[in-house]
Amino acid sequence: MPLFLNALTLSHFRSHRVVRFEVGAQPVALFGPNGAGKTNILEAVSLLSPGRGLRRSSAQDMARRPEAVGWKITGGLQSLGQSHEIETWSEDGSARQVRIDGKAAAQTALGRVARVLWLIPSMDRLWIEGADGRRRFLDRMTLSFEPAHAEATLTYEKAMRERNRLLKDMVREPSWYLALEAQMAEAGVAIDRNRRAALAELSAAQSNAATAFPTADLELVHPETDLPDTVEDLKLVLADNRSRDLTAGRTLIGPHRADLIGTFAAKGVLASDCSTGEQKALLVSLILANARALSASFGAAPLLLLDEVAAHLDAARRAALYDEIVALGAQAWMTGTEKELFSAIGDRAQFFEVTETEGASGVQEG
């Protein structure tokens, strides 16, 4: 049973005053000039999943200017044979709220009815920039398999911030640290376990698939020592490392220090040393592997958000990508400046032209 949006409405979101879509389960191709608001539509869809969306923006920054009175996104979702109405909104820059089928819900509840993956141009430098971005990339994939991963991450980060405050204040009394380190240890072990389970799912999905994209071997590493795999052992490590952390003024051991190392499997070359085109192909491969794994574990392929992905692939790779999306049965929302970029998908997709006139964006079937 497929997972897809059959309706989407944006109100005062980014560049869009009001935009409505009625679509089927097929992929959706959005084309139009730069600045017309195509990526904003993808960002709106990304907010139908837990977290801050594909741009990681504040709720205030998503409001249409100059009104800035708030925004709302409503989606009609078909998920595993059931229909849901999802609403998410923010008023006057306040934290975004969520309703599912008319009932107030936590953001984490979105992961129970929908799974959303994305690939955007800013991720093209994933392999050559800092570890922070790779951790976020891994955590988004992990969250797609295990919605509770978000709660473990928030718990860990909150406790670590409090511990770091004590460290900066040079507090040496052990009793101040015990409860915080217990929270960090429990959440930290869960985070590491969830990440490794996600990597195992991705590895299996890549090894069992026939694909035109290269396989990426992934390894989770820590800068100094492997993370203990039990709560008690991680508590001991945090306590033992306290004096060194006091000198640094921050926590030096934990899942927040992990890094994701990728290797182009067929060549045995680190992803960071690959060409720009190879790095992009590896990212596409991982997104498709994530989607295949979710199709098996969740019961449906996720919504895929692919921003300007066609422009960075040659014609053969574009055709291969579209074939794999259609074979998955995924509703992929794709953007491009020209309709011709999607010619290889033909009548297997729904086309919409996004335009901007007099400060307002418009969308029409293309």
Q: Please name the amino acid found at residue 125.
A: R
CA distance 45 to 73: 8
pTM, two decimals, is 0.92
For residue 176, pLDDT beyond 80: yes
- Hey, what domains does the chain have and what are their CATH numbers? 1-115+298-366 (3.40.50.300), 124-297 (1.20.1050.90)
Residues 78-105 pLDDT 10s: 999 999 999 999 998 899 999 999 999 9
Residues 231-247 pLDDT 10s: 999 999 999 999 999 99
The pLDDT score that the predictor gives to residue 162 is: 98
Instruction: Give the angle subtended at the CA of 84 by the CAs of 83 and 87, to the nearest 5°.
Output: 155
Q: Is 293 in contact with 330 (CB distance < 8 Å)?
A: no
Q: Could you give the percent of the chain with pLDDT greater than 90?
A: 85
Rounded mean pLDDT, 120-144: 95
**Please, which contacts does 344-350 make with residues 24 or more away whose CB atoms are closer than 8 Å?**
344/315, 344/318, 344/319, 345/27, 345/29, 348/26, 348/27, 348/322, 349/26, 349/27, 349/28, 349/29, 349/322, 350/23, 350/24, 350/26, 350/27, 350/28, 350/29
Q: Looking only at Cα atoms, what is the longest distance across the chain?
A: 68
The pLDDT score that the predictor gives to residue 215 is: 94
